[in-house]
Chain A
């Protein structure tokens, strides 16, 4: 734990520093899209709230909650559904690891009204209040193990925890997901990557900066290219791995605009945290973001997501 205490002491010091500026202008969502995360002006880092003593790089505050809900809609629009595994109506128990605002769990409840859906997160403060009774939420840290017996869930879902799971912890986390899934049940992982295609010089510069610092902090993006292998190593069968290049930018219409807004706000939130750990001024990162966003439009870029799902084998 020494490393994490060191890291988060740094974070708390960073919070005391001056901060940053918003994401580039002109990134609002299409009219029919859900409301984009609001950012009327610069949000000083001192105003963002982070979880203490938890290796989670993103803020945990209302603005980030808003982004997570927005991201949920962006993903549903681009991936066509809230899940990728070939589920059938028979599933009765669903687990969502890293449930955040709970929006995925609530919407899955609407799709599978006969299922018991359980959401898990290190903090339940992002859930709507009062918490709707349709789902059950449990506070737990997957890095420390899930508080469930073996073989409880027909379907275990975890997505976009790249900023919460250090690379060395991934194999253990996936084993834990498999452990709580019933034989024959599905485990699904979805993560973003450090790949934008095609990547011009501004995009490469931007990605290099973010991935370089992530690496220093123990968050290695390369592990996310091996989600399928991780499932196989954890004993899963019928594993399907897929790289999904999602259109990024207004060039791709409403769905591309949605993802663009989400990516810029997400990188903007990471920037607040990362700049405080480096000598890079936030304005330099903002300029990199703006340049990169222009490239995405010009080159019709796609952001690659990594997805994998597989089955816990029958005994």
Chain B
């Protein structure tokens, strides 16, 4: 598929990656990963991604790689903002492999930098079970 932008075509209905909804009707699909999130985890993930974005704008010089990472973070934030309040206690987030990879990269950056890790220690603890981090924060 050719895209007008390196991001791809976010409005292409065929690429509704990460289309998020609560409850039923959402399937992982080929190559996708479903993240099952509690409301608390949604809030933690939003806080961490917003924080990473602010950090990147302030601390990292504009490069192709930084910009790509920022766009992916922005897209993930879009999905998180669109998550409907779940009828139960959990939301479902369906991610393409590159989105999942981007999310893991951002979280890795945060966990590896003591200042960032300390700033979002509580959020990382909340997210730990989701990503299988053993010590809960780092």
Residues in A lying within 8 Å of B, measured CB to CB: 77-81, 84, 86-91, 110-115, 238, 240, 242, 244-245, 247, 252-253, 255-256
Contact of B62 among A86, A114, A247 (CB under 8 A): A247
Sampled A-B contacts (25; CB under 8 Å): A77-B62, A80-B66, A80-B67, A80-B70, A80-B71, A81-B7, A81-B67, A81-B70, A86-B80, A87-B78, A88-B10, A88-B81, A89-B11, A89-B13, A89-B15, A111-B11, A112-B10, A114-B11, A114-B13, A242-B57, A244-B57, A245-B57, A247-B62, A253-B62, A253-B63
Residues in B lying within 8 Å of A, measured CB to CB: 4-5, 7, 9-13, 15-16, 50, 54, 57-58, 61-63, 66-68, 70-71, 74-75, 77-82
On whether the beta carbons of B57 and A111 are closer than 8 Å, the reply is no
On whether the beta carbons of B78 and A252 are closer than 8 Å, the reply is no
Contact of B61 among A89, A240, A255 (CB under 8 A): A255
Give the residues in chain B near A253, CB-CB below 8 Å: 61-63
State the CA gap A169–B49 with chains docked (Å): 34
Give the residues in chain B near A89, CB-CB below 8 Å: 10-13, 15-16
Known: A77-B62, A86-B78, A86-B80. A111 touches B9 (CB 8 A): yes
Residue of B nearest to A74 (CB): B62
On whether the beta carbons of B78 and A88 are closer than 8 Å, the reply is yes
Known: A88-B10, A242-B57, A247-B61. A110 touches B4 (CB 8 A): yes
On whether the beta carbons of A113 and B11 are closer than 8 Å, the reply is yes
Give the residues in chain A near B62, CB-CB below 8 Å: 77-78, 80, 247, 252-253, 255-256
Known: A89-B16, A245-B57. A111 touches B10 (CB 8 A): yes
Closest-CB distance, A15 to chain B (whole angstroms): 37
Closest-CB distance, A58 to chain B (whole angstroms): 25
Interface SS of chain B: helix, strand, loop or mixed? helix
Known: A86-B78, A89-B11. A242 touches B54 (CB 8 A): yes
Give the residues in chain A near B61, CB-CB below 8 Å: 247, 252-253, 255-256
Identify the 8 closest CB pairs spanning chains A and B, nearest first.
A110-B4, A255-B62, A80-B67, A86-B77, A80-B70, A86-B78, A112-B11, A88-B78
On whether the beta carbons of A88 and B57 are closer than 8 Å, the reply is no
State the CA gap A115–B9 with chains docked (Å): 12
State the CA gap A79–B62 with chains docked (Å): 8
On whether the beta carbons of B74 and A84 are closer than 8 Å, the reply is yes
Residue of A nearest to B49 (CB): A86
Contact of A81 among B13, B15, B71, B81 (CB under 8 A): B71
State the CA gap A91–B9 with chains docked (Å): 13
Interface hub of A78, A79, A89, A113 (most chain B Cβ within 10 A): A89
Residue of B nearest to A245 (CB): B58
Residue of B nearest to A109 (CB): B4
Closest-CB distance, B108 to chain A (whole angstroms): 19
Give the residues in chain B near A255, CB-CB below 8 Å: 61-62
Give the residues in chain A near B11, CB-CB below 8 Å: 89, 91, 111-115
State the CA gap A255–B82 with chains docked (Å): 32
State the CA gap A112–B3 with chains docked (Å): 11
Closest-CB distance, B22 to chain A (whole angstroms): 15
Known: A242-B54, A247-B61, A252-B61. A111 touches B78 (CB 8 A): no
Residue of A nearest to B59 (CB): A245
On whether the beta carbons of A77 and B81 are closer than 8 Å, the reply is no
Interface hub of A78, A111, A115, A240 (most chain B Cβ within 10 A): A111
State the CA gap A79–B71 with chains docked (Å): 9
Interface hub of B11, B12, B57, B58 (most chain A Cβ within 10 A): B11
